Homo-oligomer: A and B are copies of this chain.
Amino acid sequence: MERRVYNFGAGPATLPLPVLKEAQRELLNFRASGMSVLELSHRSSWFSEIIETAQANLRTLLNVPEHYHILFLQGGASLQFSMLALNLLHSSSPPADYVVTGTWGNKALAEAQRQGQVNVAWDGKAEGYTRVPEQQELSLNADATYVHFTSNETIQGVQFQHAPLVGGVPLVCDLSSDFLSRPLEVERYALLYGGAQKNVGGAGVTIVIVRDDVLATMPEDTPSMLNYRLLAEKNSLYNTPPTFAIYVVMLVTGWLLEEVGGLERMDELNRQKAQVLYEAIDHSQGFYRGHAQGDSRSSMNVTWRLRDTALEAAFVQQAQARDLVQLKGHRSVGGIRASIYNAMPSEGVQALRDFMDEFAKQNG
């Protein structure tokens, strides 16, 4: 048996062990093809089956209606920040509304500002990005080109429980760090996107789900690789897609369907895991202090400080000695962050909880 740690890293993140074993088993010979998955032509029937299965799995898991395309692109959410604005926000467009609940929302906003007019519909900065807004706090424009929000802020650990209500305005969402962690009402969105390297696979593929009516005819100067319409027409095969990364998405979505049993069950498990850690924080008599407030607490990235911040380095180090790794908070905010994506087993969360209790007892 290979050594295996509990990896609480925010992404690239822990993957389901059965997925890794399957990828390992097939690495030299994909389904008796005599070739590695890495060696399959993206135009081969072998790879067609991979990409079609990955799409079908996503469609089933999320109930994606037929009038949405599912694309496998490259460049991460960071390229999507620009690409969605290039495609949706033209120089003559009314402003797009951006709801900013943390670091990634800010980055999305900054890239959109390069392409067109934007309006900040809400920004949690003054409160240190500890919560998502209430509906009535949003300054939304009825004629906005679109509304953008970040479903889960990976760094701050702040998550929306419900998407903002936006009337008829197209809703756009960065789902990078809670994609496939729970059910989703896809019909409410014009465009959804997320890097795969949290819940859906390895780094190197970005999943975009886009409603057909949003696929505009683009200006002549749009680079082909940034043109959703063209990429949708070519079913993500305009050029060579990241074949291995898409293969891993196929395996992970297959695991979600067949071994977990779908997103409702996954959501239940994720909430249970998060509850274990939030209780450990709340019952620590102030030794641990959660960053996010109440309903805004993320079930993906649990973030907290120690009352005595000087102890945080020791916390991370001692946890690591027990194979509880990658618990250091993002360098921009400090503290502790436990990312407990789909593939983190409850045993890992329990081991972390036990360590937290013990560390608090020894140092409290």
Known contacts: A24-B24, A114-B223, A240-B11. The answer to whether A245 contacts B204 by CB under 8 A is yes
**Chain B proximity of A222: nearest CB distance (Å):** 7
B27 touches A39 (CB 8 A): no
Contact A35 B5 (CB under 8 A): yes
Most buried by B among A83, A238, A240: A240
Does any Cβ of B come within 8 Å of A2's Cβ? Answer: yes
Chain A contact residue count (CB 8 A cutoff) = 69
User: What 1/0 flags go to A201-234 for Cβ under 8 Å of B?
Assistant: 1111100000000000000111111100000000
Q: Are A40 and B23 neighbours in the complex by a CB distance under 8 Å?
A: no
- Residue-wise interface mask of A (2-23) relative to B, using a CB-CB cutoff of 8 A (1 in contact, 0 not): 1111010111111100001101
Minimum CB distance partner of A197 in chain B: B240
Interface of A is mostly: loop
A44 proximal to B (CB < 8 A): yes
A residues lining the B interface (CB < 8 Å):
2-5, 7, 9-15, 20-21, 23-24, 27-29, 32-36, 38-42, 44, 74-79, 81-83, 86, 111, 114-115, 195, 197, 201-205, 220-226, 238-245, 248, 323, 325-326
| A/B interface sample: 12 pairs, CB < 8 A | A11-B41, A12-B38, A12-B42, A24-B28, A44-B326, A74-B75, A74-B242, A78-B225, A79-B223, A82-B226, A115-B221, A203-B243
